[in-house]
Structure 1
Amino acid sequence: MAALLYASRMAGSAYDIVLVASNDPDAEGLKLAAGEGIATFARPHRGMERADHDAIMEQAATDAGAQCIILAGYMRILTPEFVERWAGRLINIHPSLLPKYRGLDTHSRALGAGDKTAGATVHLVTAELDAGEILGQAQVAILPGDTEASLSARVRLAEHQLYPRVVNAYLKRPYDPSYLLDQVRLRALALPEAQERDSHGSPGWRTGGKSGRYFAYFSQQHHGEPHIALLAKTSGQDELAELIDRDPAAFFRPAYYGASDWVGLILNRPGLDWAQVNYWLERSWRMAAPRRLTSLHDADMLEAGLLDPDLPDAGDQF
């Protein structure tokens, strides 16, 4: 927690700490945080149902305006409902190289197995213990004569370097052009006969072979625009204008492509829903792909149970 706190005050930090909370009123971290002017909260869990205690801790975080919860030595298993509500916004550090040695006694287990390396893992929290997406790891060599105490001390040094760096990178990820492009590319190329090809200096994707039509572009502040965006085809100027009027925080008229009925879906914004990105990619792909591809794609999706038989047409809107 101290490493996270001091890193938050360095130039380029993607986060501020609004609250340090604990189930132990005597935790040293609370004293350190209070001395540094950070708000604190403590509520012992003894005698309380787990869900009730979780609700009190969650309310304290919400009241403080927290958008993410970073666990640092919080030795309580959270209820699945709590974890679900904070999915993607709940981060933990674990003293092993996951997926090895989930749970407790990680150092003794690594020593007992004769491992040559130990380490730490930063991961997203899921209902399954220590099984969420791995965001970063640091390896620590196991030395001859190491004890659980000596290994633990070195792993903790690695944790102090790893945790702030990984948290910072993760919280910046929604605004990182490389990350956003990778996510769009992954989804675009999953569509039938999709190929990537630059167009006017921007990555683009087309379908239907060499003479196929473009169905999406990736725009990184193109022509002086402030947005990182997916450009997708609409049904026409009326729909384009309606989308922008209805939700200007999500849609815009691209300077270079707007006259041709393309809409910009802003990616570098809080709360981006990747299901919405998937929708516009597939819908735009349908407008560009030959019927032989859309028919085959629909048949495959129906067989897999992934498509409603009452498929929306190109005029339907997300």
Structure 2
Amino acid sequence: MPERARVAVLISGRGSNMAALLYASRLPDCPYEVVLVASNDPDAAGLALAKAERVPTFALSHKGMGRAEFDALIDAQLRAAGADYVALAGYMRLLSPEFIDKWGGRIVNIHPSLLPRYKGLDTHTRALEAGDRTVGCSVHEVTAELDDGPVLDQIEVAVLPGDTAETLAARVLIAEHQLYPRALANFVTRDRTPEAKLGRVREIATQLPGAEETISHGMPCFRVQGGKMFCYFTHDHHGDGIIAIIVKTSGPDEQAQLIDQDPDIYYRPAYFGPSGWVGVRLDSGDTDWDHVADRIELSWKLVAPRKLVGIREF
């Protein structure tokens, strides 16, 4: 299983959604782990649970501190814990623009309504007053606007006769506990799927002058103006379970040197290997896409006409 994403959870109270995320992370196929639970309230009940479950915690009251100042302290704790993502779970404090800029695209929140309906507080009261027959919960990305980021997933919950804001909230909370772990798992793996990785490779390769995509040997690949291939994308093509690109090298000597230097990333691909091509794995933890881009461009230069190489270098 690939290395799991490291998630920090921010809470302000009982931490029931934090607990749902934490216990889901104990399942063998969960793609994330909870590495820190932090709170702006040292008395938050969820901290005691996190400590009991041997999860590192951090707590500091925000009172008397500016928003950016406090968020800078939280940011330092997240980075010290090695967090890749941030999950808000009942964190009752608006985040500063500076914090969101630093963690943009890596923060999610759960909200007790079917967004974009009923942003903010008192969602259940507002839904009952509006006569809604269905409510629910949403997981969304966090942006600078309150509860306005892209919705990642939702669950609908029926309104029953005689429901109050309290009874409705209790039932929606059950749905939240089901939704959040799944949505977070999908969020942290969205860039790890073969389709997502092919998309990144396509973006890199097709930016090169004269490059076009085609299919060869049953694999997506990229060539120069209908001519020579310079990059193949392989996903379990030979039943090996590998997600990788296959690119040209200057020859067997460079191929062997790359494999010797970093055998966790480079390998000698079947069929292509004897011709000096090398495999670059995209499934070994976090992919260094700058390095991948360099290898694709070097491969392209080995087959591209001089006039195209000149355009690129110009």
TM-score tier by shorter-chain length is 0.7 to 0.9
CA RMSD of aligned residues (A): 3.9
> C-alpha distance in 2, partners of 1:224/1:115?
51
2:286 is matched with: 271
Alignment equivalent of 2:93, drawn from 68, 76, 91: 76
How far is the alpha carbon of 1:133 from its aligned partner?
A: 3.8
CA apart distance, 1:218? 1.7
Residues 1:165 and 2:185 are matched in the alignment: no
1:180 aligns with 2:181: no
Q: Which residue of 1 aligns with 2:30?
A: 13
- TM superposition shift of 1:193: 8.7
Aligned to 2:13: none
Letter paired with 1:96: S
SS at match of 1:45: coil
The amino acid of 1:168's aligned partner reads: A
Instruction: Find the residue that maps to 1:30 and give its secondary structure.
Output: helix
How much does 1:163 deviate? Answer: 0.8
| Maintained 8 Å contact 2:219/2:233 | yes
Q: Which residue of 2 aligns with 1:44?
A: 61
| Structure 1 residue 51 displacement after superposition | 1.9
The match for 1:128 is 145
Aligned equivalents of 1:194 and 1:115: distance in 2? 51
Paired residue type of 2:313: P
Cα distance in 2 for partners of 1:138, 1:247 equals 45
Q: What is the alpha-carbon distance in structure 1 between the residues aligned to residue 235 and residue 182 of structure 2? A: 25
Per-residue CA deviation, residues 162-204 of structure 1 (Å, 9 max, x unaligned), is 111222233344443354345546777899894543x334333
Q: 1:25 aligns to what SS in structure 2?
A: coil
Tell me the residue number matched to 1:311. Answer: 312
SS of the residue 1:16 aligns to: strand
**Cα 1:280–1:104, aligned 2, differ >3 Å: closer, same or farther?**
farther
Asked whether the equivalents of residues 174 and 268 of structure 1 are also in contact (C-alpha less than 8 Å), the reply is no
**C-alpha separation in 1, matches of 2:261 and 2:115:** 45
Counterpart among 92, 95, 101 of residue 112 in structure 2: 95
Secondary structure of the 1:37 match is: coil
Asked if 1:35 corresponds to 2:58, the answer is no
Aligned residue runs from structure 1 range 80-229, under 5 A:
80-181=97-198, 184=201, 194-197=212-215, 199-205=216-222, 213-223=228-238, 227-229=242-244
Q: Secondary structure at the match of 1:34?
A: helix
In the superposition, the TM-score normalised over structure 2's length comes to: 0.73
Aligned to 1:58: 75
In structure 2, give the amino acid aligned to 1:229.
A
Distance 1:121 1:113 in 2: 19
TM-score with structure 1 length normalisation?
Answer: 0.72
Counterpart-to-counterpart distance in 1, 2:312 and 2:51: 56
Report the CA distance between 1:142 and its aligned residue.
3.4
Q: Return the alpha-carbon distance in structure 2 between the equivalents of residues 188 and 214 of structure 1.
A: 11
Q: Partners in 2 of 1:7 and 1:235 — Cα distance? A: 47
Structure 1 residues 222 and 195, CA gap change in structure 2 (3 angstroms): closer
CA distances 1:25-59 after superposition (whole Å, capped 9, x unpaired) = 12111122223333322100000111221122223
Q: Distance in 1 between matches of 2:275 and 2:126?
A: 62
Which one has more relative contact order, counting CA pairs under 8 Å at least 6 apart? 2
| Residue identity matched to 1:82 | F
Structure 2's unaligned 5+ residue stretches are: 1-17
Aligned residue pair count? 296
Q: What percent of counterpart residues are identical?
A: 52
Q: Using the alignment, how far apart are the partners of 1:29 and 1:231 within structure 2?
A: 48
Contact 1:174 1:269 in 2 (8 A): no
Give the structure 2 partner of residue 302 of structure 1: none
